[in-house]
Amino acid sequence: MISVVKPEWVRDSIRKGKLATPRQYSPDPKYFLSDVVLCCSDNVPIGDQEAIIGGVTALGGAYSKHLTKQVTHIVAIDMDGDKCSMVKSRSLDIKIVLPHWYNP
């Protein structure tokens, strides 16, 4: 099967040295969160994490358990967690959002 992907797929595949997952690069408008790689702070309840992760991935986004270079958003209840502290201290270009940022 040949996937239709955004041009960023080629750039990221070359950078990684292997083929990137085509699903994250879909131009289909129903996958409007395809540019989002989500990470949850430890202060977000597990049930909320599962619901948010499920919703984001259903709309084309991805999830990372750990803070990586690909993460674009951290879901957190407050700024006290380790992941939020790391983003602030290193001035990383990662958005920190509340759990209700994802509201289906």
Print the domain residue range for 90.
Answer: 32-101
If asked whether residues 73 and 47 sit together in one domain, one would say: yes
Residue 76 sits in a domain whose CATH number is: 3.40.50.10190
If asked whether residues 5 and 39 sit together in one domain, one would say: no
Tens of pLDDT along 55-92?
999 998 999 999 999 999 999 999 988 999 999 999 99
| Total domains, the chain | 2
Residues for the chain: how many in total?
A: 104
If asked whether residues 2 and 50 sit together in one domain, one would say: no
**The model's pTM:** 0.79
Are the C-beta atoms of residues 39 and 67 closer than 8 Å to each other?
yes
If asked whether residues 37 and 24 sit together in one domain, one would say: no
Tens of pLDDT along 9-20?
899 899 889 998
If asked whether residues 22 and 55 sit together in one domain, one would say: no
Query: Exposure string (b/e) for 66-89, b if CB count within 10 Å is 16 or more?
Result: ebeeebbbbbbeeeebebbeebee
Query: What are the residue ranges of helices labelled H in the chain?
Result: 8-16, 46-58, 82-90
If asked whether residues 45 and 71 sit together in one domain, one would say: yes
